[in-house]
Amino acid sequence: MHFTSTRSPRNVTSAQAIARGLADDGGLFIPQEFPKISDELVKRMIDMDYKARAREVLALYLTDFSADEIARSVEAAYTGTFDQENPAPLVELHPGLNILELWHGPTCAFKDMALQLLPHLLTISARKTAPGRTMVILTATSGDTGKAALDGFADVPGTKIIVFYPQNGVSAMQKLQMVTQKGDNVAVCAIEGNFDDAQNGVKHIFADSEMKQYLNARDMEFSSANSINFGRLAPQIVYYVSAYCDLIRQGKLRRGERFNVAVPTGNFGNILAAVYAREMGIPIGKLICASNRNNILTDFIRTGVYDRNRPFYTTTSPSMDILISSNLERMLALLYGNDTAAVAGLMEQLAKTGRYAISADVLAKLQSQFYGGFCDDAGTAATIGETFRKYHYLCDPHTAVALNVYEQYRRETGDDTPCVLASTASPFKFASAVLPAVRPGALPADEFEMVTALADATKLPVPKPLAGLKDLPVLHNGCVTKEKMKNFIRDFLG
């Protein structure tokens, strides 16, 4: 099992791909070919628990890891870190619609599924590829990645982690989670700009030769905890495979029978993991790609034109407020049959003009696999309210966007194939958007009063990691311009 880049032929091991994060040509690492999950393996996995399934799936990609290294990593990631035994339970909302709850981890968002595991995969990868060097994790966040990465990497020996977030682009709760992060190896800083500014800043620093020398001189090396790192994707593939096994175990699906997947999408990492599961042989039918008012992906799926020259909106689902979906590059590689020159060409156009168009035949292929749709904040709130009243199920705004778009898809197509819908955050993480949707009346001024009011109104418990935040001291209050990100990093690394 080897990996190549989306932009030029490369041949690296999984440990090299994970340790480096980004390929040296600016592209993303992708498997040269997809390992297959045999029917016999599915049969065995049906009776396994989540951790055992994770070991099986990861072993197919991480062929340069020992079975023991994988087992130890999985054990550490999913033992005692989630609020229940199964980290990714499947809950039936109504017959045919199953919610895959991915937010039972320590930061209450789906990023934990990957970021509890990544530090272990990364430190093992570093030992294999760059023994003795400190890995410096550099991350841009639209809110949830930052905290999940901080929680995963805090005080992990041989690593340091630096997180940049857009000053006005994350929720109050997300911000508080980050600025209260403990750990001797962590740094957190706000950026004057939006998520794309933060992400672009980080991408430039990765490619900056001066910074490379600076780190080299200190026996350090950059790596990434963003979903551009294959070590983030692999753990996400696991939960789609696991959901398939659970559907069979619960008698909702026969082996080999198709199901659709609906995902609230930002950087395209979560939905891409479903695509990868399908490439491995899991019978996934339509992929329903849900966006908020920043509906660049809806337009792309409907027209074949990706155009970021448009206004950027701040919405009640901030983790999807993104105009450049990094992982789409991996999808393009798949659509273009790993034609690296074609993908490199599109990415160059995107960098130069903010726009590219795919050919008619590639668009047809894309549309045969995907449905793209979006909903605005009013639609999001309406869906949260309706879902709670009808099913007594409380969902967060990101999940609500996916539910709304799933309903649009059902109405338009009449397709009633069983569906797995990814639920990506605890509703308590976004109380200021969720509370008014389920309880009319004045909104408390303080975020924690909103959380308490939401718990009262719904009779649901506040997740422990959020309840405890109120009493923690703020440890990080820096804010810099995009141009000053390098200075911040140098100040922290010394």
Ligand X SMILES: *Cc1c(COP(=O)(O)O)cnc(C)c1O
Residue numbers at the binding site for ligand X (CB under 6 A) = 109-111, 144, 227, 264-270, 319-320, 398, 424-425
Nearer to ligand X, 201 or 264 (CB): 264
In the complex with ligand X, which residue's Cβ is closer, 144 or 377? 144
Nearer to ligand X, 113 or 126 (CB): 113
C-beta of residue 2 within 8 angstroms of C-beta of residue 230? no
Q: Vertex 326, ends 372 and 73: CA angle to 5°?
A: 105
CB closer to ligand X, 62 vs 233: 233
Q: Which is nearer to ligand X, 110 or 371 (CB)?
A: 110
Report the residue number, 319 or 340, with the smaller CB distance to ligand X.
319
Min CB(69)–ligand X separation in Å? 26
Residue 144 vs 197, nearer CB to ligand X: 144
CB of 398 to ligand X, least distance (A): 4
With beta carbons less than 8 A apart as the criterion, state whether 236 and 273 touch: yes
Shortest distance, CB of residue 266 to ligand X, whole angstroms?
3
Minimal distance, residue 304 CB to ligand X, in Å: 20
At its nearest, how many Å lie between ligand X and the CB of residue 227? 5
CB of 20 to ligand X, least distance (A): 20
Least Å distance, CB 107 to ligand X, is 9
- The residue (of 109 and 335) whose beta carbon lies closer to ligand X is 109
Task: Give 65 or 430: the residue with its C-beta nearer to ligand X.
Answer: 430
- The nearer residue to ligand X, 15 or 106, going by C-beta atoms, is 106
CB of 147 to ligand X, least distance (A): 10
Nearest-approach distance from CB 320 to ligand X, in angstroms:
5
In the complex, minimum distance from the CB of residue 288 to ligand X, in angstroms, rounded to a whole number: 13
